[in-house]
Amino acid sequence: MTVSTVSPGATGVWGAIWHGITRSTSGFIGLCIVAGVLLFAFAGPLFIDTRNPTDVTKIWGPATSEHWLGTNHEGKDTFVQLVLGGREPIWVGIVAALITVAIAVALGGIAGYARGRIDHFLLQLTDITMTIPFIVLMLVVASFYRTASPMVVAFIIGLVTWPYLMRSIRAQVLTLREREFVEAARLQDLGTARILFTEVLPNMAGYIFINFIIAITNAIYAVVGMYLLGLLPSTAANWGLMIQQAWDNNAFLVPSAVPFLVAPMTMIMLFQIGLVTMTRSLEQALNPRLRDR
């Protein structure tokens, strides 16, 4: 069932991306889910009273017209915390994904195009990075930097998650460098950097974009998991922190506390489902092997 068709003026990668998202019902629904969660997390605080004081007389209060999702173990409004808790994990996911993709594309492109000693060195660097245990690294960071900012966390996630994508990028560049248009660019003596970044990598834009979305989902799961394990400091409101606090305070044993545990999990799952659905639609649109299926 078709939701929309690509406009005549929509050309190139962005036109294909838009058409890929909106060409099917599932892709369009995924786009709407992602847009809704983003609006909830980033525009929501503009429409509510962000002051959320502690009130010990309302600990684990039920849902009412005043507190739509009840209150938590400190008597704070659960809905307000839910609205305020989305920005940090989403920002961390996006920044970490940008770092991951930037490193993977740059190193994978150079390794695949240059080959030889440079390729060998970068593959060795990839192998070394892949041996770094992520959880142990975060334990060390949490031990020394109890006030680590979300951007520091995003930087660390990006630095340890690029090797897998880098190998995929390298493999594709090795194939593309033998194509006729690359050989023509070499004959024109356009230079290695120009050939790589204006001829080779643009032909992989769809694949890179899809992996960027996948990297966002992986980074969000990583940061939420680290909050759940207590590896990150308890600072601002955060969906992962809400889950950790609910677990630590046995919210699953108190019926009126269920929204405090379920609400952040629901928002995370909705965002991930939306991203995954968008990714599948994009892959069908941008992958020539799947485009006509």
The verdict on residue 204 lying in a domain is yes
pLDDT value of position 23: 74
Is 223 among the domain residues?
yes
**Does 172 map to a domain?**
yes
- The pLDDT score that the predictor gives to residue 142 is 66
Give the pLDDT band (50/70/90) at residue 1: very low
**Cα(79)–Cα(250) distance, integer angstroms:** 19
Is the CB of residue 293 less than 8 Å from the CB of residue 24? no
The average confidence (pLDDT) of the chain is 84
Whether residues 102 and 203 fall in one domain: yes
- DSSP annotation of 190 reads -
CB 270 within 8 A of CB 253: no
Residues 95 and 194 placed together within one structural domain of the fold: yes
Are residues 203 and 106 part of one domain?
yes
CATH classification at residue 213: 1.10.3720.10
Q: Of 163, 160, 185, which Cα lies nearest the Cα of 111?
A: 163
- The model carries a pTM of 0.85
Structural domain boundaries, residue 190: 87-233
Predicted confidence (pLDDT) per residue in 54-78, tens digit: 888 899 999 998 889 999 989 999 9
pLDDT in tens, 185-232: 878 877 778 888 888 888 888 788 889 999 999 999 888 888 887 777
Residues 79 and 103 in one domain: no
**Considering the domain boundaries, does residue 100 fall inside one?**
yes
Q: Give the chain's domain count.
A: 2
Inform me whether the pLDDT recorded for 165 exceeds 60: yes
pLDDT confidence of residue 91: 92
Indicate the residue among 182, 217, 233 that finishes a domain: 233
pLDDT higher for 191 or 16?
A: 191
Q: Same structural domain for residues 216 and 256?
A: no
Looking at the fold, whether 94 and 227 belong to one and the same domain comes out as yes
- Whether residue 19 is predicted with pLDDT greater than 90 in this model: the reply is no
